[in-house]
Amino acid sequence: MRKHITEMKLPMYASFSLTFALMGDAFLYSFLPVNALSIHVPIIWIGTILSINRFTRILLNPLILRVFSRVGFRLPVIVAAVVSVVATAGYGAGFGIAVMVLLRILWGISYSVLRVGAITYAMDYPKKGLALGVSQSIIESGPLLALLVGPVLFDVISPRLTFFIIALLSTPGIYFALKLQERGRTSARPLSFKMSFPSIFNRLAFLSAFAVDGMLVVLIGSLLVDAQPSWTAVEITAAAAGFLSFRRICSLLISPFAGWSADRYGLANIYSGSILLICLGLILAANGWALTGLILVFTFYNINASLAAGAASSGKTDVTRAVSINATFRDAGSAFGALAGGFLLANDHLDLIFTALTMLLILFTWKYCRESRVLLT
């Protein structure tokens, strides 16, 4: 037991570094749509400010891999933790659009470094499922704290001071980054701009992120309106916020159990089962049973997300590269899904759109299961 605890220290340090860094980003998502003008951000720029970090990650993930291969993991994680604190402090300063965009780009780079670092350290642990589950649970705790503390602070002090205090609360992430030990480096691959068809697993990761992280998160309000037409706008808003909080709480509580189940019953089996239950939830949510469907989707998407890195790197010699490629596809799915969700806000056929998405997810899951069995035999 003492040996396992010792081996889990580094994955936990890396995860704590990421969770503290996430606090400013989490509060910004709840703050900016309603209070953009208070920090001199025109309303037309809100979508760009909130999404540009994701598109930054899509473009720069391959370069981040080269950084890890050249200078190791510890130093980039430390720098990323410092930059995340600076970015958080700058969000509320009201420096203008150009600075805000720059801060979000820097945050996107920092998040990529911290996320790939946390996952890679977790994959070094012998019980990978458990390590990934515990890591995901730790990562969700910082944003949840920010969502609880941030509104209370904003109620009594200015946006500038609110983000400054959240930045101060984020500084322990630097301490945990400094506690990391260096791990073995992987050899740098030459940069290639050749387009190749993604693996079936990465197609599945893209589509699941597109459907849940992207479209569903944007369209929660519309689905609730369709399912509960008698509810007021305030009740719909409160319910949507409640489901987003429920999503993070589920990730905090369920991820370790998901990792244990993956180690016991097979990572591919648990991952595939979570996708099928997500599909059931999407069908229910889009066809009038929004409350039940959203509970199902957010419960099992957290299981899915916590195991994605393990499934992506299964059988791969270069774990960091496999994790980074999968993270890029998940980022792309959530970014383009959010854009699609914005265009579909006034659409009257969401049930048909989500049904088509679930059929594709089921098809890709079936193909992934077949591939997994072939690799095992």
Which CATH number is 111's domain given? 1.20.1250.20
Triad 246, 251, 257: Cα angle to 5°: 130
pLDDT at 254: 78
Residue 64 makes CB contacts below 8 A (sequence gap 6+) with 76, 109, 112, 113, 116, 324
User: What are the φ/ψ torsions at residue 108 (nearest 5 degrees)?
Assistant: -60, -40
Residues 6 or more apart whose Cβ sits within 8 Å of residue 336? 210, 214
Which residue, 115, 143, 178, sits at the end of a domain?
178
- Give the pLDDT score at 191: 46
Is residue 187 domain-resident?
A: no
- Residue 125 within a domain: yes
Which letter, b or e, does each residue of 215-229 get, where b requires 16 or more Cβ atoms within 10 Å of its Cβ? bbbbbbebbbebbee
Same domain, 78 and 109: yes
Rounded CA separation 153/159 (Å): 9
**What predicted TM-score, i.e. pTM, was given to this entire model?**
0.71
| Domain count across the chain | 2
CB 217 within 8 A of CB 30: no
Judge if 165 and 240 occupy the same domain.
no
Distance CA 351, CA 341 (A): 13
Of 148, 178, 208, the last residue of a domain is 178
Q: Are residues 94 and 234 in the same domain?
A: no
Confidence at residue 234, expressed as pLDDT on a 0 to 100 scale: 60
Per-residue model confidence (pLDDT) at position 193: 45
Both 159 and 222 in one domain: the answer is no
Task: Give CA–CA dist 304/3, Å, rounded.
Answer: 28
On whether both 207 and 327 belong to a single domain, the answer is: yes
3-state secondary structure of 346: coil
- pLDDT computed for residue 376 by the predictor: 45
The per-residue pLDDT string of the chain (377 residues; one tens digit each, 9 = 90 and over) reads 455 555 678 888 999 999 999 999 888 877 776 677 888 888 778 767 877 888 888 788 778 878 888 888 889 999 999 999 999 999 988 788 889 899 999 999 999 899 888 888 887 777 767 777 778 778 888 888 887 788 788 878 888 898 999 999 999 999 999 998 887 655 555 545 454 567 888 888 899 989 988 788 777 777 888 888 887 766 775 677 677 778 878 777 777 777 778 778 887 888 888 899 999 999 998 888 888 999 999 888 877 777 777 777 776 767 777 777 887 888 888 878 877 776 776 677 888 989 999 999 999 999 888 877 654 44
- 113 and 214 together in one domain: no
Contact 328, 58 (CB under 8 A): yes
Q: Are residues 13 and 133 in the same domain?
A: yes
| Contact criterion met (CB below 8 Å) for 67 and 7 | no
Same domain, 218 and 360: yes
Residue 194 resides in a domain: no
Query: Which residues form the domain of 169?
Result: 2-178
User: Environment class of residue 54 by beta-carbon count within 10 Å: exposed (0-12), middle (13-18) or buried (19+)?
Assistant: buried
